[in-house]
Chains A and B, each alone.
Chain A
Amino acid sequence: MIEQLQQAFLRFAENSQLNQLSAIILTLGAYQFGQYCYQRSGRLMLLHPVVIAGCIIAAALNYFDISYQQYRDGSQLFYFLLGPATVALAIPLYQEFRHIRLLARPVLITVALGATIAATSAVLLAGLMGAEGEVLRSIASKSVTTPIALGISDKIHGISTLTTGVVVATGIIGALLAPIAFYFCGLRDPRLQGIVLGLNAHGIGTAVAFEKSASCGAFASLAMGLTGAFTALTLPYAISYFGI
């Protein structure tokens, strides 16, 4: 019975349109289930939809003996939409732009320094522990929102799948550890907490910030957009300058 199912899946996979449909259904279904679990758990960070859906998809591919490459070919649609989604980040950025006027200098200085620290600390730590070129280039953009991080990783010849995994994990780790950092630094202003969340934990941090308050979320999305833009504009040059 299971063998027949596996064979049927393999026949499916040979047909490119069916392969695409299966990949899309698997992705959408797993994501939907992930969202359900996340809501049900009271938005527990470790049960973020991406974590659950990622595990389900990986398990399904293993079970039905489908190669990752084949799934990747089938799910091109999602990858393609990341382009316009990146462009679309300009709209929330524009809508928060008037907030910059109030806290322009601290926001810009924090983002420029913070984005540099985020990339440097990752590359230095990993480098000290023996990681090499390709891996270092893949994790340098770990604090940048995924669509931009993927674009950067492509440009500087990182491993795009590693970049995505590291970015998502960083978002979750950052959102989990942020309250500890706020406690140590005595940072209580929700607007400033938002900046730190968006800067270090991109979209996931921004989502958590919006759960705290609207202005915390607004500043998080502002910091996320600025960090992405700043890193995209500087990191490729830094990488080639330091010859990583």
Chain B
Amino acid sequence: MVRGLLVLFFFQWLGEWISLATQAPIPGPVIGMLLLLLALLIRQKVSSDLQQSSHMLVQHLSLLFLPAGVGIFFLSEQVLAQWPAIAAAMVAGTFISLLLSSWIVKSQVKSDD
């Protein structure tokens, strides 16, 4: 457990450091995730320790962003004025993107046959 957390925090630290040093617009934790993935691909196995700590965090991901999500009830007036546009993007935008990606994935696999 402790070793798993150590690995996760180390890679996040590495990612934040690279993000800061290179001024890249990519978030530090994402760089950390990609580096850890690379390390795992090279090493070809995941220790049970790391698996345990990552499982604990990933399993309750929605709990972790709950406080930020509550903010949707406390948006500024200026943002609320644009609410119809936001709703359209969420409902119609998501449906368009669902249809197109279903169609793309199907045509991709068919062309492989």
A interface residues (Cβ-Cβ under 8 A, vs B): 23, 27-28, 30-31, 48-50, 53-55, 57-58, 61, 68, 71-72, 75, 78-79, 81-95, 97, 103, 105-106, 109-110, 113-114, 117-118, 121-132, 134-135, 139, 142-143, 145-148, 150-152, 154-156, 159-162, 164-166, 168-170, 173-174, 177-178, 180-182, 184-187, 189, 192, 195-196, 199-201, 203-204, 228-229, 232-233, 236-237, 240
Contacts and interface: CB of A to CB of B under 8 A. Distances in A.
Given A58-B70, A165-B71, A27 B27 contact: no
Interface of B: 5, 8-9, 11-12, 15-16, 25-30, 32-34, 36-37, 40-41, 46, 50-51, 53-55, 57-58, 61-75, 79, 82, 84-86, 88-106, 108-109, 112
A167 to B, nearest CB: 8
B29 A78 contact: no
Contacts of A201: 94
Contact of B85 (A78, A130, A151): A130
Which 8 residue pairs are nearest across A and B when measured between Cβ atoms? A161-B71, A151-B27, A165-B72, A236-B25, A88-B54, A106-B108, A129-B85, A114-B101
Contact of A31 (B58, B66, B104, B106): B66
Interface centre among A85, A134, A161, A186 (most CB of B within 10 A): A85
B57 A173 contact: no
Majority secondary structure, B binding face: helix
B100 A170 contact: no
B38 to A, nearest CB: 9
Contacts of A105: 108, 112
A13 B36 CA distance: 39
Contact of B74 (A68, A110, A240): A68
A54 B30 CA distance: 26
A106 B33 contact: no
Contacts of B61: 85, 145-147, 203
A146 B29 contact: no
Contact of A142 (B74, B89, B95): B89
A122 B89 contact: yes
B74 A117 contact: no
A106 B70 contact: no
A72 B67 contact: yes
Contacts of B91: 173
Contact of B32 (A81, A87, A152): A87
A85 B64 contact: yes
B26 A236 contact: yes
